[in-house]
Structure 1
Amino acid sequence: MSDAAIHPIRFILSDVDGTLLHPDHSLGQRTADAVRALREAGVLFSLASGRPPRAMRHLIETFDIDIPLAAFNGGTLFNPDGSILVAHYLPADAALVTLALFSAEPDVEVWVFADGDWLRRDAPGPMEPREAHGLGYGPRVVESFEPFLDRVDKIVAASNNAQLLVQLEAQLQPRVHGLAQVSRSQPVYLDVTAMLANKGEALKTLAAHLGVALEQTVAIGDGGNDPAMFEVAGLSIAMGQAEEAVKRRANVVTGSNIEEGAAEAFERFILAGR
């Protein structure tokens, strides 16, 4: 008897950018159809993203999601109506260390997410239009991040210099060890969140909330923040364009997001058996 027969898949937690969406943030028809087929087959489907809840509203409508979702890499779990289930904030001392390191780099745009807003302090940089396009709204300019330090959801270092972000990740990890999660959600974004703000904890919490055993869950993603949920899911799927370090931590690898790899995986590993 196959594992699928012993532990039929009941819940899928999917990354968004680089997984369900094309590089231009559009949704392919094949992926939309596959998610619809999952729902019709009775499989629970939700999203885990580095995005804030506000930037996931249209996705809730697009995928007709009626169960809780995970924003800020799992830092905030919220219902489709926007009400918060769980919120994990970055400790203020970790925020200060992070901001000091990121702000010293002229090639890095520093963004803070707090109070439902995307905040920036410095002049706009080349990464801002990309983020605004993805989120569907722009940042609020503030003179200082200090008034928000006790309720920071996420700090982001954004840069087209991907190698610089790799170096910053390595420098920051030991400085905030035990206080914060540091991961590259995409090659050009380095995210810093609370320790419990990770997709693995999100998957465990959401599965328990839904009454689903972890053996009956699937996690799919492409970024450095996705292996946390790979480690706890019954089946983990990495996208084809993911970095090798991410692929190695998944059970299987599918096609890239350009190739509608998420749809391919849903069709092959879940829908084919129903």
Structure 2
Amino acid sequence: MTTTSLPPGLLPGGRFADWRPTAPPAYVVCDVDGTLVGPSAAATDEVVDAVDRAQAAGLRVGFATGRMRGAMHALQEQLHAHGPHVLHNGAEVRADGRTVHAWTLRPDQVDALLEVARERNDAYVEIYPEDGFLVSSWDERARAHWDILDREPIGVIDSSATLGDEPALKATFAVFDPDAVPELIAAIERAGLLAGAAGSPRTPDLTYVNATHPDADKGRALARAADHLGVPLTQVVAIGDAANDLSMLAVAGTAIAMGQAEDEIRAAAHLVVPDVDAHGVAVALDACIAWR
């Protein structure tokens, strides 16, 4: 496909020359914050309608997010996306109401992250079992994040023993000073975990650093979700806007960056759509329908 034959609203990304759309899209996975939604909690009518059109055309539509499943209920009720869905920044894949696969943290890794949080005043850590989340301290500076999750912490966690036999899927540092991010990434990596920085238009004063199993990122989870559907990655479309989306942009047959994404993200994509305020994900979904 040439730049002149692209559907309206799409521009070439940094990897456009490598794009080989040899088969029609079958499965589209959308990041949430900065992609499906902007500063508001809900998707726009334009995005909701585009998801409806895509699924009516036979596409499977899912989301890939750092959020837990409980924090997606309202948006899922609005979108009715069939999935599979990627949660916890890639640590969990859900399809048809059940967990297809999960990558969890060891107790000693949870304890190492809690120790890091105790030593700092510029961040705290949230630990995510299968439902809800616990925090290293009750820090009101993180309340804007609790609002995104649509719930408060279920308690304070002092050690992994608090979890009992329940596995931890992910940990997230809410960072109150962005200068702390490199040190937190290094600490997470020393614990043998994968670190991924992220943000949200809804909390511009907070930065997040996710800690997941070293085999858990959005790219590996996307591959597992596609395998569950029996869809080759060449027929998978991934849409995102942030650094934690890079792994899924790397494996998808068609990688699409949102217009407001940083240069690094746009360079990693085959295509670029308008920004979230201009309903760029709707443009991408309609292009996928046209390619079918």
TM-score (norm 2): 0.83
CA contact (8 A) 2:84 2:96 kept: yes
2:120 to 70, 95, 105: 105
- Greater relative contact order, per chain length (Cα 8 Å cut-off, separation 6+): 2
Question: What is the number of residues matched between the two proteins?
Answer: 268
The 2-side partners of 1:156 and 1:207 are apart by: 26
CA contact (8 A) 1:12 1:219 kept: yes
Q: Deviations over 1:160-191 (max 9, x none)?
A: 4223224422x235413xx3210013271110
The 1-side partners of 2:66 and 2:50 are apart by: 23
The 1-side partners of 2:236 and 2:130 are apart by: 32
The 1-side partners of 2:123 and 2:152 are apart by: 18
CA contact (8 A) 1:15 1:220 kept: yes
1:118 to 129, 133, 139: 133
2:225 to 206, 216, 219: 206
CA contact (8 A) 2:24 2:291 kept: no
**C-alpha displacement of 1:73:** 1.2
Which deviates further from its counterpart, 254-263 or 39-48?
Answer: 254-263
Q: Deviations over 1:182-235 (max 9, x none)?
A: 001327111001122211111111111111111011011122211111111001
The 2-side partners of 1:56 and 1:212 are apart by: 24
CA contact (8 A) 1:103 1:110 kept: no
Match of 2:73 in 1: 57
Matches within 5 A, 1:66-85: 66-81=82-97, 83-85=98-100
The 2-side partners of 1:18 and 1:227 are apart by: 14
Which deviates further from its counterpart, 198-207 or 71-80?
Answer: 71-80
Match of 2:174 in 1: 158
Task: For 2:124, give the aligned amino acid.
Answer: E
The 2-side partners of 1:233 and 1:56 are apart by: 23
CA contact (8 A) 1:230 1:250 kept: yes
SS in structure 2 opposite 1:60? helix
Match of 2:5 in 1: none
1:226 to 245, 262, 277: 245
Task: For 1:184, give the aligned amino acid.
Answer: A
1:172 to 148, 166, 187: 187
2:149 to 123, 132, 135: 135
The 2-side partners of 1:244 and 1:102 are apart by: 31
SS in structure 2 opposite 1:112? strand
The 2-side partners of 1:5 and 1:102 are apart by: 45
**C-alpha displacement of 1:99:** 2.6
CA contact (8 A) 1:60 1:80 kept: no
SS in structure 1 opposite 2:169? strand
CA contact (8 A) 2:127 2:133 kept: yes
SS in structure 2 opposite 1:189? strand
The 2-side partners of 1:225 and 1:5 are apart by: 24
Match of 2:16 in 1: none
- For structure 2, which runs of at least 5 residues remain unmatched after alignment? 3-18, 200-205
The 2-side partners of 1:99 and 1:241 are apart by: 34
Match of 1:12 in 2: 28
CA distance 1:102–1:253, shift in 2 (3 Å): farther
The sequence identity of aligned pairs, in percent, is: 29
CA distance 1:125–1:149, shift in 2 (3 Å): farther
**C-alpha displacement of 1:37:** 1.0
CA contact (8 A) 2:114 2:136 kept: no
Matches within 5 A, 1:184-195: 184-186=197-199, 188-195=207-214
Task: For 1:132, give the aligned amino acid.
Answer: W
The 1-side partners of 2:64 and 2:88 are apart by: 8
CA contact (8 A) 2:128 2:134 kept: yes
Provide the aligned C-alpha RMSD in A: 2.2
**C-alpha displacement of 1:63:** 1.8
Q: Deviations over 1:23-63 (max 9, x none)?
A: 22221111111111111111111111111111122333222
The 2-side partners of 1:86 and 1:63 are apart by: 23
The 2-side partners of 1:273 and 1:115 are apart by: 38
